[in-house]
Chain A
Amino acid sequence: MSLKNALAPFGIWARALARPYTIPVEDIMRAPADRYRGWHTNDAEACIGCGSCSDICQNAAIDMVVNRDATKGDTGLRPMVDYGRCCWCALCVDVCPSGSLGLSSEYTWVDKDPEVFRYVPGVDKKPWDDDTKGWHGGEWDLINHDRVPMSMLPGETRGQTWAEVVLGYSEEEAQREAARCLECGICTAACPAHMHIPEYIGAIRDGNYEQAVNLIYETNPMPEMCGKVCTRRCEDVCAHAKQGEPVAIRWLKRFATERFDDLREVIKADVAPIGVGKRVAVIGGGPSGITVAYYLAIRGFEVNLYEALPTLGGATFFGIPKYRFPMPSLEKQVDMLRGAGVKLHVNSPVDAALFEELRSTHDAVFIGAGLMRGKAMRVEGEDAPGVVNALTFLLEHHLRNNTDSDKVSKEPVVLPGMKVAVVGGGNTAIDAARVSLRLGASEVVISYRRRKEDMPADWEEIEDAEHENIQIDVQAIPLRIEQTPDGRLDLIWGPAEMVADKPGARPKPVLVEGVENHLVVDRIIGAIGQGPNLRWLSPEAQGTIADKWGWIKVNEDGMTGMPGVFAGGDLVNETADAISAIADGLRVVQGIPRWLGLQ
């Protein structure tokens, strides 16, 4: 043992005079680090009540508690945190799709009452509610908000073919996309038919496609149509849409139904035959009529369906072009009606006399006659030859191409090489433009009064049109149409200025006076909306069930002012899309048995 080593420990005596090594308490009472994970905060207005936070918490520290009414896009629930269990991992924050949840950097809170350590962040006010420090969403997300991309025909060439543009997901893609679902069910509120969305998405994810289509058929007898063209309000409110891309609910439904060439053996209904011996007449073979017919038929009703056109489908047949919703898809769904025993009477327009007969021979009548009248543009020169209404244009086109109807001329309105202008900004305008392109038009221009973001058409449809080189002129108000000396048409339009309207309403386009622009084309297609046409009914009947413009009012069972006469679809609702028509149909499926006292 050397002396040096023996004395070594005494070396630290040098520290006797140094500043103490321990830390004064003031030094410790520093602010927490910027990302310190302390008590929760929540922006209760931004929170959508999806419950993802509650699901991810492995300590079961979070309850979803009722805080407000459920609305489309908000379950009205808010998370309540039990700090007897929370371990401040912030997984709840990292999965919060709205980005509303956070952990403040505050962590000291002393109270004698243990019960206070359980509160609804953002609702029960706390001093740290506005703390921007701590652990908040946005900086980095555990949840990937990117959708599995959909393959499509290339934009440059697909204008030359009627083939379906969207190619559909492969099985692997569908399962991957389905796996993105957070299963909160918020989407079901926004779906007019309140389809069982998270359930069927879960079944697709697990590869249980039969179960998926059965879940889909619970509320939708035309799912392949909806899977291809639905307005998908569900996707607008999907939790993922808060910070990224919603789950491709529509494409997943499409995937599930396309798995089966014939659904008749797959769909297994199990309902009481309450309608045996009862007869129902359905007027109109659009989505609303098909819904009423199918679900009543499987309940034992004898259903007679009358359709004026040679084919069922309504506007989904004669309006929606085949590159979006092909005929085989539609036929598959009509087959389901046949399988259910619905008696289909096509080429059978109902008139006033037949209507009265149906009323007397059936226990109930449903009117789902849709909007069969294209609205006029109301500009000077509109009746010039070469100016057509989009609805007529599409109807004739589809009858010519997809039926053996002899009621339409063999020659299309739009011929190869023509330049076409379409006036309007809805789905019908886009469809008319893209159909024109496929008929060989050399150039197609859509002319719309407002801005692009105001277009009622589906944003994906707008994009698709643009990829096909369709030009979109916005803030263009049509003034009049003139014929040029060489037999063409001059669409004269003035620029619009956007002026703020009432709060909550879209800004209004106001004409900038004194400027006139010319768009010289061969054809002009007016696509500014559709309206009801009930002139096939007697004036008395019209007066009983409809207002003076032809819109039908119904009660909560879907029944009109005429007992035993029910209605639904575009004629009734304001949303005028296929799924709303189906939802109307479902209301009547409950309404008719109730009215007949069958429950």
Chain B
Amino acid sequence: MNEFVQEIQARFEVLWSNPQRPDLMQIGVRQVNALPLLTWLKSNTGYFILNHFSAVDWIEDGEFQLTYLLTDYAARRSLMVCVRIDRAAPTAESVHHLWPEAVTYEQEMFEMFGISFPGSPRQGVDLLLEGWEDIPPMRRDFDTAAFAEEAFGFRPGRTHTNPRDRVAIAFGQKGFLHDH
């Protein structure tokens, strides 16, 4: 597996690699190298099946991560290619010409994360959400709890007492390093 990473490294800069399992290698590459690498993998290696493709929101880093999982079924090994992209202007090159199912993945990521893949056929067509106006809901800063509260709420008459508060009040818990 490591030799294979070296083989990749010889062509494209590998930022980091992590042998997560004997059958699963993870590598990170720069966005500029993503499409060339994926194209090379698809046409020149056994890793031509795209099992899975999705995004992770690293909001604190100001980045999205695109994760492509490719599998070489003959060798029974998978390669996870991770690419960080700018969260402020999230655009990535489409891979729909390499793998037809990428159309749906890219359509979904546009809808759920707001990441656009110019040239991908169904960009902007609703997949799961009709008439959604809020920020893309899979972004970390979309507050599902608040949304659920507003959209569904609790049935009337529900009240909850926090056990810690009840004990603190009943027994007069205080603090003496601070005035209250």
Q: Which residues from chain A sit less than 8 Å from chain B, CB to CB?
A: 49-51, 54, 60, 63-66, 69-70, 75-77, 82, 84, 115, 118, 183-186, 188-189, 194, 196, 198, 214, 217-219, 267-272, 295, 298, 586, 589-590
Query: Interface 1/0s, chain B 144-165, versus A by CB < 8 A?
Result: 0000000000110111111110
Q: Report B-chain residues with C-beta under 8 Å of the C-beta of A60.
A: 154
Segment of B92-100, B132-140, B172-180 in the binding face: B172-180
Q: Are B171 and A189 in touch, CB under 8 angstroms?
A: yes
A82 and B173 contact, Cβ closer than 8 Å, known pairs A183-B164, A271-B178, A271-B179: no
Candidates B164, B171, B177; contact of A217 at CB < 8 Å: B177
Q: In the bound complex, what is the Cα–Cα distance between A404 and B172 (angstroms)?
A: 43
Q: In the bound complex, what is the Cα–Cα distance between A272 and B180 (angstroms)?
A: 10
The answer, yes or no, to whether B167 is at the interface (CB within 8 Å) is yes
Q: In the bound complex, what is the Cα–Cα distance between A184 and B161 (angstroms)?
A: 12
Q: Are A66 and B161 in touch, CB under 8 angstroms?
A: yes
A188 and B167 contact, Cβ closer than 8 Å, known pairs A272-B179, A586-B174, A586-B176: yes
Can you show 10 pairs from A to B with CB atoms below 8 A apart?
Answer: A63-B160, A66-B161, A77-B161, A84-B155, A185-B168, A194-B174, A198-B164, A218-B176, A269-B177, A298-B177
A51 and B171 contact, Cβ closer than 8 Å, known pairs A82-B158, A271-B177: no
CB distance from B78 to the nearest CB of A (A): 31
The answer, yes or no, to whether B88 is at the interface (CB within 8 Å) is no
The answer, yes or no, to whether B21 is at the interface (CB within 8 Å) is no
Candidates A77, A118, A270, A589; contact of B178 at CB < 8 Å: A270
Q: In the bound complex, what is the Cα–Cα distance between A63 and B163 (angstroms)?
A: 11
Q: In the bound complex, what is the Cα–Cα distance between A214 and B178 (angstroms)?
A: 10
CB distance from B146 to the nearest CB of A (A): 14
A64 and B177 contact, Cβ closer than 8 Å, known pairs A186-B167, A188-B168: no
Q: Are B176 and A64 in touch, CB under 8 angstroms?
A: no
Q: In the bound complex, what is the Cα–Cα distance between A214 and B175 (angstroms)?
A: 10
A194 and B162 contact, Cβ closer than 8 Å, known pairs A82-B155, A270-B177: no
Q: Report A-chain residues with C-beta under 8 Å of the C-beta of B155.
A: 82, 84, 118
Q: Are A54 and B160 in touch, CB under 8 angstroms?
A: yes
Q: In the bound complex, what is the Cα–Cα distance between A422 and B178 (angstroms)?
A: 46
Sorted nearest first, the 4 A-B pairs with minimum C-beta distance are A185-B164, A218-B175, A70-B170, A51-B163
CB distance from B37 to the nearest CB of A (A): 39
Q: Report A-chain residues with C-beta under 8 Å of the C-beta of B160.
A: 54, 63-65
Residues of chain B at interface, number, CB under 8 A: 23
A189 and B164 contact, Cβ closer than 8 Å, known pairs A84-B155, A194-B172, A194-B174: no
Q: Report A-chain residues with C-beta under 8 Å of the C-beta of B178.
A: 218, 269-271
Q: Are B177 and A267 in touch, CB under 8 angstroms?
A: yes
CB distance from B131 to the nearest CB of A (A): 27
Q: Report B-chain residues with C-beta under 8 Å of the C-beta of A75.
A: 163, 166-167
Q: In the bound complex, what is the Cα–Cα distance between A188 and B175 (angstroms)?
A: 13
Q: Are A185 and B163 in touch, CB under 8 angstroms?
A: yes
Q: A70-B166, A70-B167, A82-B158 are in contact. List 4 more A-B contacts (CB 8 A).
A: A49-B166, A75-B163, A186-B163, A272-B179
Query: Interface 1/0s, chain B 87-110, versus A by CB < 8 A?
Result: 000000000000000000000000
Q: Report A-chain residues with C-beta under 8 Å of the C-beta of B159.
A: 63, 65
Q: In the bound complex, what is the Cα–Cα distance between A218 and B173 (angstroms)?
A: 10
Q: Report A-chain residues with C-beta under 8 Å of the C-beta of B172.
A: 194
Q: In the bound complex, what is the Cα–Cα distance between A84 and B176 (angstroms)?
A: 44
Q: Identify the closest chain A residue to B173 (Cβ).
A: A194
CB distance from B48 to the nearest CB of A (A): 39
Candidates B157, B162, B170, B175; contact of A189 at CB < 8 Å: B170
Interface-centre pick from B157, B163, B166, B171 (highest chain A CB count, 10 A) = B163
Q: In the bound complex, what is the Cα–Cα distance between A82 and B166 (angstroms)?
A: 21
Q: In the bound complex, what is the Cα–Cα distance between A267 and B168 (angstroms)?
A: 23
Q: In the bound complex, what is the Cα–Cα distance between A294 and B15 (angstroms)?
A: 56
Q: In the bound complex, what is the Cα–Cα distance between A220 and B164 (angstroms)?
A: 19
Q: Report A-chain residues with C-beta under 8 Å of the C-beta of B164.
A: 183-185, 188, 198
Interface-centre pick from B162, B167, B177 (highest chain A CB count, 10 A) = B167
Q: Are B173 and A188 in touch, CB under 8 angstroms?
A: yes
Q: In the bound complex, what is the Cα–Cα distance between A54 and B154 (angstroms)?
A: 15
Q: Are B179 and A219 in touch, CB under 8 angstroms?
A: no
Q: Identify the closest chain B residue to A185 (Cβ).
A: B164
Q: In the bound complex, what is the Cα–Cα distance between A64 and B173 (angstroms)?
A: 20
Q: Report B-chain residues with C-beta under 8 Å of the C-beta of A63.
A: 158-161
Q: Report B-chain residues with C-beta under 8 Å of the C-beta of A84.
A: 155
Q: Report B-chain residues with C-beta under 8 Å of the C-beta of A590.
A: 174
Q: In the bound complex, what is the Cα–Cα distance between A115 and B155 (angstroms)?
A: 9
CB distance from A166 to the nearest CB of B (A): 27
CB distance from B165 to the nearest CB of A (A): 8
A64 and B158 contact, Cβ closer than 8 Å, known pairs A188-B171, A270-B177, A271-B178: no
